[in-house]
Amino acid sequence: MQTVAKKKWKCVNFKNVGIAGLKKELAAFEKKYGWSTQAFLQKIERGELDESNDFIDWLGLAEIDRHIQMGER
């Protein structure tokens, strides 16, 4: 019999987020870590952060937001 370690992971359902939900999710990460999304992206680019589920989700949301903003121009 296999044992599975249970972890509480926050999974973002990217398909059903919507623009308002997207902004809410980004704001939640900004509040949790005390950084703006822009500061977070700079830290990622400089390699200052370890890979974590939160950071992967945050990066995904930031990329979606960037694509939406590019489409609005």
Assess whether pLDDT exceeds 70 at residue 35: yes
- Residue-wise pLDDT for 24-33, tens only, equals 999 999 999 9
pLDDT given at position 2: 37
Report the pLDDT value the prediction gives residue 10, as an integer from 0 to 100.
55
* pLDDT tens, residue by residue, 36-69: 999 999 999 999 999 899 999 999 999 989 988 8
Q: What is the mean pLDDT of residues 17-24?
A: 84
Measured CA to CA, the distance from residue 52 to residue 65 in angstroms comes to 20
Question: pTM for the whole thing?
Answer: 0.73
Q: Alpha helix (H) ranges present in 1-73?
A: 18-33, 37-45, 53-72
- Those residues whose C-beta lies under 8 Å from the C-beta of residue 14, and which sit 6 or more positions away, are 60, 61, 64
φ, ψ dihedrals at 7, nearest 5°:
-130, 150
- Separation of alpha carbons 32 and 27, rounded Å: 8
